[in-house]
Structure 1
Amino acid sequence: MARGGREGRGGQGLARVAVVVRAGAAPLWWLGVVAAGAGSAWPGLTGRRIGVSAGAALFLVSAAVVACTRRRRYTALARAASRAGRHDVLQDRAVSARAWRRGHRWWLLLAFLAALGSSFAVPAAGGMLLAGAGTGLRLKAAWLGRRERADDVLLWVRVDWLGRYGGRPTGPAVKGYRSTGIAAGDAAPGGARRRTAALV
């Protein structure tokens, strides 16, 4: 199998499912932390203590909801995954993550501004909600990684099915996943950077 960002002759460009899921984790976490930190600088309408307490609850709820959402869809697609072809192109981890972040940059900015603005009413709560969403994405990627290790495969999705904005790997355009051996590509199970990239 070839590697890179372009489709090979007769094949399809494939992005790692776990990498696409994980791509938003770090931006949401750090934007949430910054928004929560900046928002706690003023007491708001509720006061800092109530704001931080509400934010902690929102963090936990957001992380749990994001981590568990659409697991049945992921499981169904994983079970029906077909083997990737020899001409399919495995997209690099950095390319997949960059495509998602570029496609969602305005949504991330709006979410950050909304979290910051909400701090005038409830200090830090909006930022902690964002950070919880980022944590939930990381937990979901870790869950996918455990499944990949258990099945001894890596899961991939066609790049064109994700769309120009990086999309969702469970979106309506996604008809199925493809699978490779556990050593394929440059990302480990769960989408983290592989310590030693392997070419397959």
Structure 2
Amino acid sequence: MSRGGQGLARVAVVVRAGAAPLWWLGVFAAGIGLSVPGLTGRRIGVLAGAALFIVAAAVIALLRRGRYRDLTRAAARAGKHDVLQDRAVTARNWRRGHRWWLLLAFLAALGSALAAPAAGGLLLAGCGVGLWLKASWIGRLEKAGDQLLWVRVDWLGRNAGNPAGKAVKAYRTTGIAAGDAKPGGSRRKTPALV
């Protein structure tokens, strides 16, 4: 990164990176949890899990939206020497930085099945859905501003953490066609070569 350029990661990709692991770990934990009768019984466990799923998805999706809006308003245009990080690299960095937390969350969800079958797994899956909804909301924010939002990699920290954390001062922006991810962080389909 010569001449003062910074490494930039897509905000929506960082948010979205945890959605798939949390969803699948939650689904597996809930499925395994159903094989255990638990203290409350399967019916109560599933009903409690469904409520936790909805609450977790809503809370995660709505959490810190004001902070994201403030950072978007303070965003500056990315410089020509800034380096845009690939979607796959950003997702891999997030998952590597959070692998132990994901493992602990999965084990906790499995352990909770002894009390309420499937509840912990559904809570975990709800967190994944909440992250996906938040990334979709960021995508709508990007489309409305006709720009993609990027965050400096060094501000994310060692664990490729929260793109709206205290260390993040402002976002950078590029045109809507930059990078290899669409608004919202999903993979951009490359046109077929003729």
The Cα shift of 1:24 comes to 0.1
Kindly indicate whether residue 146 of structure 2 is the aligned counterpart of residue 182 of structure 1: no
Of 104, 113, 116, the residue aligned with 1:110 is 104
Q: How does 1:72-151 map to 2 (within 5 A)?
A: 72-151=66-145
Q: 1:31 to 1:93 in 2, by over 3 A?
A: same
| TM-score, with structure 2 as normaliser | 0.97
Kindly indicate whether residue 154 of structure 2 is the aligned counterpart of residue 155 of structure 1: no
The Cα shift of 1:9 comes to 3.6
2:49 matched residue in structure 1: 55
State how far apart, in whole Å, the 1-side matches of 2:50 and 2:185 are: 27
Paired AA for residue 113 in structure 2: S
Kindly indicate whether residue 151 of structure 2 is the aligned counterpart of residue 170 of structure 1: no
Identity percentage of aligned residues: 76
2:26 matched residue in structure 1: 32
Q: Alignment partner of 2:183: what SS?
A: coil
Deviation readout 1:87-125 (Å, 9 max, x if unpaired): 000000000000000000000000000000000000000
Q: How many residues align?
A: 191
Gaps of 5+ in 1: 1-6
State how far apart, in whole Å, the 1-side matches of 2:160 and 2:79 are: 22
State how far apart, in whole Å, the 2-side matches of 1:109 and 1:182 are: 35
Gaps of 5+ in 2: none
State how far apart, in whole Å, the 2-side matches of 1:57 and 1:130 are: 12
The Cα shift of 1:8 comes to 4.2
2:186 matched residue in structure 1: 192
Q: Alignment partner of 2:5: what SS?
A: coil
Deviation readout 1:18-45 (Å, 9 max, x if unpaired): 0000000000000000000000001100
Q: 1:8 to 1:191 in 2, by over 3 A?
A: farther
State how far apart, in whole Å, the 2-side matches of 1:9 and 1:107 are: 37
| TM-score, with structure 1 as normaliser | 0.94
Is the contact made by 1:8 and 1:89 (CA closer than 8 Å) also made in structure 2? no
Kindly indicate whether residue 14 of structure 2 is the aligned counterpart of residue 20 of structure 1: yes
State how far apart, in whole Å, the 1-side matches of 2:14 and 2:86 are: 11
Q: Output the aligned Cα RMSD.
A: 0.8
Is the contact made by 1:15 and 1:91 (CA closer than 8 Å) also made in structure 2? yes
